[in-house]
Structure 1
Amino acid sequence: MAVHRTKASQRTSPDLEKLVADAISLAASGSQIEDRFWEERLNTRLMRLLKSQNQNAIDAALDQTFRINTIAFEVLADSAETLAESLVMEHEGKSWDVLLLALPIVAHTRYQIPSGPLSVSAIESTALALQGAIASTDARLAIIPWLYSIDQMPHSHCQTRLLTEALATAAITEGEIKIELRDMTETIAVLADPRFIIAVLAAPSGMPLFRWQAEPPTRIERGMSLIGWKTAMQDTVASLLPGCEFDLLLPESYFTNCRLADKQVRPLSMRAAANFLESTLGVLPAGLSCVVGAFGEEQADEYRISFSLKGSSEIVYGVIWPLYDRETVTNDALNDLSEDESPIKKICDALHEAGVEDIFRHAMLFDPELCDDCGAPLFPDRSGEAVHAELPDDAPTQQPLFH
C-alpha cells in the first residue's frame, strides 16, 4: 500500500502516455498559474481512472515516471493519493470538504497484537477524543468499527477512493456506514506492527477540518492536540491491545500516516525481536548476532535481518525492514554506513539500541526469495545464502511469524 516499486514494463496506451506527460509537465512548471493548469489536467485524468477502477493504468504511470523522472513520480503519487483520500461532496445544497484519516497505533509485544471489531464503547470514546483534541468544532466524523492491521487496509488508490466516498456519505448525512467488514484478510501474527482506526472528517467547504486550523480561542496547536489525543485514548487503546506496549501518532491523512506508522514500527521490530528471543531462548541481546542483507529484483525493496546465537550459523529469527519511495538505495551503497539517513545506518542503529552489537552487513543484492513450502521469507546468513529462519526444536512451539 505505502510501498511503490517499479514492476515489469507494461504496454503503453494513449491514456498512460498523457498521464505521464502531464505529471512531467507539472513537475517542470515554473509558476503557480501553470501549476494550476497542469494540476487540473492531471486530476481530471486521474479521476477518470479512479471512477472506472482502473488501478492498473495508475500503477503503470507510476512505474514509468519512477524510472524516468523522480520528481514527476512524486507529483503523480501525491496527486493520486490526494484524490483517493479527499473529496468535495454536495449535500442539501451545501458543499463539504472531506478527508480520510488513519489513526495509527504503533505497538509491540511478546505475544500477539489484536485486530478486529471495535465495540460501541471504543467507537464512542474514539469519537469523543477526536472531537475534543483533533476535529474542528464544525466538523462531522464517521469511524469504521474495526481495528485494522496493515494487511487489512485498502491496498490501492481505487479502493481507498471508494472507502472515502462511503465514509463521507455517512459523516455528512450522520447516517449508517455502508461498508462490508466480513471476510477480512487474516492478520499475520508479528511482534511489532501498527494498528489503525480509520475515520473521515467532513467540514463545510472553506472551514477548518482540524483544531490547529481554527482561530483562537478554539485553536489547539498540533503538539497540544497530540498530547490531548494520547491522554484521551490511553485507556481505550490499552483495553484494545492487552499485553502490548504502544504509542499513538497524531490522526492525519490516510496515506501519510500509513507510511509514517510503517516507518516508526521498523526499529520497534528489532527491539521486539531481541526481547522475544531473550524470553524464548534465554539469550540476552548481547549474545545475539545479526546478518543484514538488501533484497529486491533490480534494486533494494527491503532489508532482511537475520538473528542467530553468537557462535552459531543457524538463523533462528528474521525481521523485514521495508523501504519506501523516498528511500531508494543504489546497488553500490547497500551496506554504506557513511550517510546518517541511509536505511542500513538506521538498521544498525536500531540493532545497537536493542543491545545487539555483532552485526554483519552484506554488500550484495539478494533475490527476494520465499520458502516454496510455507511462503515465509528467506533470510541471509553470513555465507551469502538465503535460508529459512527456524527456532530450535526445544523452543516453545506457538510463536509469532516474521515481521
Structure 2
Amino acid sequence: MGDLEPLLRDLAPQVLTAVVRQHGDFYAGEDAVQEALFAAATRWPVDGVPDNPRGWLVTVASRAWIAAWRRDTARARREEKAATLDPPAPAPATGDDDTLTLLLLCCHPALTPASQVALTLRAVGGLTTAEIARALLVPETTVAQRISRAKQKIRDAGARFTMPPPEERAARLAAVLHVLYLIFNEGYTASSGQRLHRVELTAEAIRLARQLHDRLPGDGEVAGLLALMLLTDARRPARTRDDGALVPLAEQDRDRWDRDMIAEGVALVSAALTTTAVGPYQLQAAIAAVHDEAPTAADTDWPQILGLYDALDRIAPGPMVTLNRVVAVAMVHGAVAGLAALEAAEPALAGHHRVAAVRAHLLEMAGDGAGARAAYEQAARQTLSEPERAYLAARAAQTST
C-alpha cells in the first residue's frame, strides 16, 4: 500500500472533480470517491494498478454514487417509483483537473476556517481522515465530524461545482490562500505537541500552492504565498538539533539551508513585486528573502526588514505583524526603542506566549538579566509546544541575573 499512497493522493482530487462535475453533488460525491479509494487500496496490491487508474477510480466512484442515490431515493419512501427511475443524466466528463474550482468550493464562506482546513486536506490533498487527525493533533472523530458538517453546509448553501461569480472570486481566492497559509504555519511551527514540525502539513501546503500557482501564474499573491512557503521551509533542516531542540534563526547553520528552495522563492517574489500589485504575502516573502540571502545573522539588512514591516502594517495589520515589527525596531534602533514599541502595542497582543518571549529577548539585549529570566519563564509556561517550552526554559536558566 505504501507505494500506492502517493498515486492515490494525487488522483483523489482529480477523481472528485470528475464525479462532482458528472453528478453535481459534492456531499455524496466525496463519500463515493472515498469508497473508490478504499477499493483501490484493497484491490490494486492484488490485481495490479490498472492501465488507466484515474478512469478506474472515476468508474468505481460513479457506481458508488449511483448506488447511494438509489438508496436515498428509496429511503424517501418512493420505493415504487424508484423502480422506474433512472439516476440523473451525468454531465459530459472532461479531462480537466479543476483543482482551483475544488479549492474554492472547499473554502466556501459558509464554513469555519477549521472546517475549510479539514475539507481542503481531505478533498484536495487526498489525505485520509486518520492522516488529517494525526497532522492536526485532534481526535479522528473530530475531523470526521468537521468534514461531515462542512459537506452538509455546502449542500445546504446550494453550492455547485462551478467557479463562483466574478464579484465573489477575489474574496474566495483570499480564503483559499488563508487556508493554505494556516496549513503551512501549523506544519512549520506546531501550535502544540511534542514536535516542532509536522512535515506532512508543510509539504501538502507547498504542493497545493504550486498547483494554484500553475493555474493562476499571473496572480501576485499566489506567487507571494508560494514564495513565502519555500523561503521559510528552506530553513527547516537547520531549525532543530538532533535531539529535536529548537535553534533560533540567528544561531542556525546556514550551510544547511536549502539553497534551491531559496533561489526559487526569491525568483518568484521578485517577479511578483515588479509585475503585480503588492500584497501582504509578497511582503512577507520579501522579508523572508532578506533573511535567507544574508550570509550571516550579523549581515541581515534590518533597516530593509523594518521598512517592509512598515508597509505590511499599513496594508495588513495584525498582532503577529506588530510583534515582528517590534523586533525589527529593536534591531534597528536598539532594545530600549523595541521595549517602548512593545509596551505601546501590548494591549492588542495580550495573552500570547510570543509577547513574553520577545520581551525576554529585548530585556536580555538591554542588559536586564532578572527581567529577561522572568519573561522567559512566563513564555515557557504559556506555550503549548514542547520544543518551544524546552527552548524558553533553557534560555531562562542560561540568563544571568
TM-score w.r.t. structure 1 length? 0.25
Give the number of the structure whose residues are more often helix, by fraction: 2
Q: Larger RCO: Structure 1 or Structure 2 (Cα < 8 Å, ≥ 6 residues apart)?
A: 1
Give the number of the structure whose residues are more often strand, by fraction: 1
TM-score w.r.t. structure 2 length? 0.25
